[in-house]
Amino acid sequence: MKKIPMWRRHDRILGSDPKGDLKAELRLQVECKTEDLIARGWLPEAARTEAERQFGNILAVQLVGERIGEHMERRRRISEYYSEWSQDARYTLRILRNNPAFAAVAILVLAIGAGLNAAVFSVVNTMLLRPLPFPQSHQLVWFTAGKSFDAKVRTAGGLSAETYTVDVFREFQRTNRSFQDVTAFQTFYNSLQYKLTGAGESRQVDAVEVAGNFFPTLGVTPLLGRNFTEEETLKGGRPAALLTHYFWKTQFDSDPNIVGKTIDINTSPAAVNGPVTIVGILPASFDFGTVFAPGKKVDLFVPAVMDFWKGWGNTLAVVGRLKPGVTAAQAQDEADRLFPQLKLQNKDWYYDYASNLTTLKDHVAGKLQRSLVVLWCAVGLILLIVSVNLSNLQLSRAATRSKEFAMRRALGASRGRLIRQLLTESLILSLFGAVVGFAMAWAIVYYLAHQRSIALPLLTTIHLDSAALSWTLVIAIAVGILFGLAPALRISGTNIQEVIKDNAAGLAAGRSHERFRSILVISELALACLLLVGAGLLLRSFLRVLDVDLGFNPSHAAAMQTDLPPAANKDQLVQRADFLKSEIDRVSVLPGVQSVGIADMLPLDRNREWGLASVGRYHAKDADTGALVYLVTPGYLQAIGMRLREGRDFSWNDTPDNQPVIIINEAGARREWPGEDPVGKLAYGAGNKPSRVIGVIADVRESALEQNSSPEIYVPMTQNSDVEGATLIVRSSIDPDGLATSVLATLRSLNPSQPATAFRPLQALVDHSVSLRRFLVLLVTIFATLGVLLAALGIYGVISYSVTQKTQEIGVRMALGASRGRVQRGVLAKTLRLAIAGIALGTIGSLGAARLIASLLFATSPWDPFAFTVMAASLIAIALLSGYFPARRASKIQPMDALRSN
Amino acid sequence: MEKTRLELFRGTLDILILKSLIWGPLHGYAITGLIRRQSDDALLVEEGSLYPALWRLESRGFIEAEWGLSDNNRKAKYYHLTSEGRRHLRAESKTWEAYAEAVAKVLGATQPPRQETT
């Protein structure tokens, strides 16, 4: 074999041609054979024909060759790609090892971005995206009564306006066609207090009464044992209970033999007394609180005896499971027709119970949607800032590596190869960041899932799953490409010669780099602006909410559940009043106690609605006469810190034999006696006889801090027996925790069966009520702080870099007489220009974006000038601060050194 | 000229090709010639099986190809052994020899095998 001379290589000048090569190879075969045959005496024509004949099907062979060739080509390309990639990866790891500071900063910044995103994604995924933890949960529908009321009345009616009577529930259950089954639970959990007795010191347990078909309808199967039987749900049936997994674990050490045994449970007022059979244990995956009552802990479930609740008004919350194939809209349609129809047949119904049907998922997560979307956007912004920041970091590093790149290009590396190298670097960094970030997200999620104080549904079920993992990876790769691509394109595009020569012309490229980096910093600042404005507005709303006049004073007061003796008739009611009086009297004299009172329900907790209608005033038929009702003892108003505007408090002399009296709030006075003094007037509200208004209190925020008061009536427990539990309020001059034991001992001395319960500070009610807002504000503020820090890092990077680049220039200027101050001012002015551009851009963006969070704000305009001013001022201050250090460095430049060094 | 046509067992062609390349790079036609001469005209490799076999060997990395000039100054694709191909050839020829020996023993037997004692 001889080498092909240079002049005969022309035919491959336009690149390789595998098919041509193949043909040439086969043609040579035929030609060689022909020549051989001629040499052996064949005629040329015949020789050629014979050679071709001997070859056989030349095309088929050619085809085989092409296939094999393609296969080889593909394999070669893959292995080449892989080897180049592993080269890049090794090189990257080496670079990162040699620049631990850069690697650490980049990975940390990335981890923050990826971690926050993964954590918030888990929250969003659990609450908005993932179905509820029930089989075929999309079939579950939540009923909200009061569709025909206007919104204001509905909120004023509290829970009572959204729930159903036993009759309505049963009728709908019987007549509807859209649902496989409709079930209910009793929303006034505390009407009956449950005590676990017989096992050591008696303790309070939290029970929820559910319809017999509650668990089957939800699709929850007991882990052990069985569901309630028909018989157990009837009046006089054998008392039964299902334990929650948690209660079973903590109270009974997960003893499987507990099923079938009885425990002693007492309720007051008595509905159950004595042994209750444990018929089953619910699975750990079922958490009533997370779905239906965020923050509520439930120990056991008992059957709601419908015949018992029949006369109690609106108490049932209703959930239905749609038949397969029936949509929520169809069910709504049926309900819209059915409820008015049922009302016509049942004249005694309070109203038509027109209902809004929403999927259970929407009911649980609907209110959160906007908050969560805001959170999601906020972490998205963080991620953008992270990418921009890393882009910037990568650029400044790349600038110092420009010689390396120029050399590689000069040695024959293609532009694509360099871009790939840089992308590999950023992707590897992102993956490292993702790993660290995922660990961070795990910690955040673990922390969140163990916050019982935050009233967020499903919060306890949050965990990192494969979806969150994939999301983190997607984010890491996206960020890697985002922050790697721009610098890669820019660097690889620079002029090789200029860089290698490193003369003044190279500065042009430097300038364009700097312009690009300035744009990056400006956008970073603008993004930080958005976050700051959002956080500012939310924070301001939060402070405004905390500033709201509650109408009561939560500090230095605490609540404890207490027992009530039964009061089925008037004599018992009098006895109960005596009992309450002695309880209050005894607790009042404890050292440190200032005032004591008892109420059945507390503000910002659950509530119920009766009515308030002034006597002698015309009420239109559909006029709203609803009012929230609280049964209280004398002294309660003072103990909780409600302010009596006029009139007097209840006294122990307001007995059943005397004139029934009530106290109302200002909202009630405004509605029923506009412009008049209500004290001394008569009104229907509690009981059948009109009651006399003896006092008016300042409005109380009873359902949420953000909501204005609706009319309320306060009814003395001495005259009315219809209580919804009993809570003792103690106002003290010392820390209520120190009082807990002595108060409990005092209650025990009067009533040995008083269960052990903890003091709950009233502040906890307020905290619980604002927990969602606090959660949102806290997170958004953290995000904004991070965003600003990252932006500051970006500014510092750019200014610092430009000072380094201009060392010579600054040296010349100083040599020519520029003062230190002047140099410093110059650098700061540049910083300021960047900051102002960023803020201007960010402000414009924020003005638009603020409208999106308007519905989350309270008493704050989305264009709140204060928030915007503070944002701008703090950003400028931070920008100047991050520009100050490079500026000082610039002013310290020694002209001679700067000129000598290159 | 009468030629004996021997059916080549599958896999045999591969080692013949590898063996013929052990003397130096050759192009396809030269390989057939070499095999023919070396076997005293007994083995005639057909083009239809030679080239696919060559390409497969190339794709498995046992041989590599390079364009060069033939004796009569034509551009031809020359194949040469890679070190992996050499290793393969060594291993395969051992197997082949063991096989051939075994076949020869059976065919050359003059008496039935002795009874096996168990």
pLDDT tens-place string over residues A84-106: 888 888 988 998 888 888 888 88
Closest Cα in chain B to A31 = B29
Contact A28 B28 (CB under 8 A): yes
If you count residue pairs, one on A and one on B, with CB atoms under 8 Å apart, how many are there?
76
Specify whether the CB–CB gap between A598 and A727 falls below 8 A.
Answer: yes
CA of A61 vs chain B CAs: smallest distance (Å)? 6
User: Is pLDDT of A392 > 60?
Assistant: yes
Which residue from A1, A26, A35 is facing B25, i.e. has the nearest CB? A1
- Omega within 30 of 0 (cis) for the link into B25: no
Q: What is the pLDDT of residue A349?
A: 79
Closest Cα in chain B to A63 = B52
User: Is pLDDT of A268 > 70?
Assistant: no
Kindly provide the residue ranges of all beta strands, DSSP E only, lying in A191-272, ordered along the sequence: 193-197, 203-205, 207-210, 224-225, 240-243, 262-268
Q: What is the pLDDT of residue B21?
A: 92
User: Is pLDDT of A506 > 80?
Assistant: no
- Is B41 within 8 Å of chain A by CB? no
Structural domains of chain B sorted by starting position, each given as residue range(s) with its CATH number in brackets: 12-105 (1.10.10.10)
Q: What is the pLDDT of residue A374?
A: 87
Q: What is the pLDDT of residue A526?
A: 92
CA distance A83 to A87: 6
User: Is pLDDT of A524 > 50?
Assistant: yes
User: Is pLDDT of A592 > 60?
Assistant: yes
User: Is pLDDT of A496 > 70?
Assistant: no
Residues of A in contact with B76 (CB under 8 A): 1, 25, 28
Q: What is the pLDDT of residue A501?
A: 60
Kindly provide the residue ranges of all beta strands, DSSP E only, lying in A588-705, ordered along the sequence: 593-599, 609-611, 613-614, 626-632, 644-647, 661-665, 682-684, 691-697
- What number is the average pLDDT over the span A36-47? 88
Please give the structure tokens belonging to residue B9: 């067992």
Q: Around Cβ B72, how many Cβ atoms within 10 Å? A: 9
CA distance A830 to A801: 13
CA distance A264 to A260: 13
Closest Cα in chain A to B76 = A25
- Is B79 within 8 Å of chain A by CB? no
- Among residues A429, A400, A439, A490, the alpha carbon closest in space to that of A100 is found at A429
CA of B108 vs chain A CAs: smallest distance (Å)? 36
Closest Cα in chain B to A72 = B59
Q: Tell me which residue has tokens 């673990």.
A: A446
Contact A1 B69 (CB under 8 A): yes
Contact B28 A69 (CB under 8 A): no
Which residue from B59, B70, B75 is facing A68, i.e. has the nearest CB? B59
Contact A21 B52 (CB under 8 A): no
CA of A64 vs chain B CAs: smallest distance (Å)? 7
CA distance A633 to A562: 13
> Helix axis angle, A865-891 relative to A506-547, nearest 10°?
140
CA distance A799 to A812: 19
Which residue from B46, B55, B69 is facing A4, i.e. has the nearest CB? B69
Query: pLDDT higher for A661 or B114?
Result: A661
Contact A29 B56 (CB under 8 A): no
Query: B residues 2-31 near A, CB within 8 Å?
Result: 24-25, 27-29
Contact B27 A28 (CB under 8 A): yes
CA of A413 vs chain B CAs: smallest distance (Å)? 25
Which residue from A1, A65, A72 is facing B78, i.e. has the nearest CB? A1
Residue ranges of chain B whose pLDDT lies below 50: 1-6
**A776 pLDDT band (50/70/90 cuts)?**
confident
Query: pLDDT higher for B17 or A407?
Result: B17
CA of B59 vs chain A CAs: smallest distance (Å)? 6
Contact B55 A56 (CB under 8 A): no
Contact A26 B56 (CB under 8 A): no
Contact A4 B28 (CB under 8 A): no
CA of A4 vs chain B CAs: smallest distance (Å)? 5
- Among residues A312, A282, A323, the alpha carbon closest in space to that of A299 is found at A282
Question: Which of B47, B49, B50 should one mutate to test binding to chain A, selecting the residue with the greatest count of A CBs within 10 A?
Answer: B47
Q: Tell me which residue has tokens 């306006």.
A: A161
Contact A68 B55 (CB under 8 A): yes
CA distance A413 to A416: 8
Contact A21 B77 (CB under 8 A): yes
Question: Which of A12, A25, A70, A73 should one mutate to test binding to chain B, selecting the residue with the greatest count of B CBs within 10 A?
Answer: A25
Q: Which pairs with CB-CB distance under 8 Å and at least 24 residues apart come from A582-589?
A: A582/A750, A583/A728, A583/A746, A583/A747, A583/A750, A583/A751, A584/A633, A584/A635, A584/A728, A586/A746, A586/A749, A586/A750, A587/A728, A587/A730, A587/A743, A587/A746, A587/A747, A588/A635
Per the prediction, chain A carries an average pLDDT of 84
Contact B59 A25 (CB under 8 A): no
- By three-state DSSP, how is residue A601 classified? coil
Residues of B in contact with A56 (CB under 8 A): 46-48
Closest Cα in chain B to A74 = B59
Residues of A in contact with B28 (CB under 8 A): 25, 28-29
Contact B58 A72 (CB under 8 A): yes
Closest Cα in chain B to A70 = B59
User: Is pLDDT of A647 > 70?
Assistant: yes
Strands A557-561 and A712-716: unpaired
Query: B residues 88-117 near A, CB within 8 Å?
Result: none
- What number is the average pLDDT over the span A243-265? 85
**A621 pLDDT band (50/70/90 cuts)?**
low
Distances, alpha carbon A322 to alpha carbons A355, A358, A516, A668, in Å: 16, 12, 58, 41
- Among residues A718, A709, A733, the alpha carbon closest in space to that of A603 is found at A709
CA of B79 vs chain A CAs: smallest distance (Å)? 10
**A695 pLDDT band (50/70/90 cuts)?**
very high
What is the DSSP-derived secondary structure letter of residue A552? S
- Residues whose CB falls within 8 Å of the CB of residue B82, separated by 6 or more in sequence, listed in order: B61, B62, B63, B64
Residues of B in contact with A28 (CB under 8 A): 27-29, 70, 74-77
Please give the structure tokens belonging to residue A565: 């003796």
Q: What is the pLDDT of residue A510?
A: 62
Give the percent of chain A with pLDDT over 70.
Answer: 92
Closest Cα in chain B to A53 = B47
User: Is pLDDT of A425 > 50?
Assistant: yes
Specify whether the CB–CB gap between A187 and A176 falls below 8 A.
Answer: no
- Is B85 within 8 Å of chain A by CB? no
- What number is the average pLDDT over the span A723-738? 84
**A198 pLDDT band (50/70/90 cuts)?**
low
User: How does pLDDT run across A782-801, given as a tens digit for each residue?
Assistant: 889 988 988 888 888 888 87
Q: What is the pLDDT of residue A394?
A: 80
User: Is pLDDT of A131 > 50?
Assistant: yes
Contact A4 B67 (CB under 8 A): yes
Give the percent of chain A with pLDDT over 90.
Answer: 17
- Among residues A336, A400, A218, A240, the alpha carbon closest in space to that of A800 is found at A400
Q: What is the pLDDT of residue A362?
A: 85
CA of B15 vs chain A CAs: smallest distance (Å)? 19
Q: What is the pLDDT of residue A322?
A: 92
User: Is pLDDT of A781 > 70?
Assistant: yes
Residue type, position A816, single letter? L
CA of A90 vs chain B CAs: smallest distance (Å)? 27
Q: What is the pLDDT of residue A488?
A: 78
A39-53, A412-426, A494-508, A619-633: lowest mean pLDDT where?
A494-508
A199-213, A412-426, A736-750: lowest mean pLDDT where?
A199-213
Please give the structure tokens belonging to residue A12: 């491959």
CA of B73 vs chain A CAs: smallest distance (Å)? 9
CA distance A256 to A248: 9
User: Is pLDDT of A196 > 80?
Assistant: no
Rounded to the nearest 5 percent, the helix, strand and coil shares of chain A are 60, 15, 30
Contact B55 A65 (CB under 8 A): yes
- Is B51 within 8 Å of chain A by CB? yes
Contact A65 B58 (CB under 8 A): no
Give residue ranges of A with CB < 8 Å to any B CB.
1-5, 8, 21, 24-26, 28-29, 31-33, 35, 54-57, 60-61, 64-65, 68-69, 71-72, 75
Q: What is the pLDDT of residue A790?
A: 87
- The pTM is what? 0.72
CA of A415 vs chain B CAs: smallest distance (Å)? 29
Q: What is the pLDDT of residue B83?
A: 93
Q: What is the pLDDT of residue B52?
A: 87
Please give the structure tokens belonging to residue A23: 């043909």
CA of A39 vs chain B CAs: smallest distance (Å)? 14
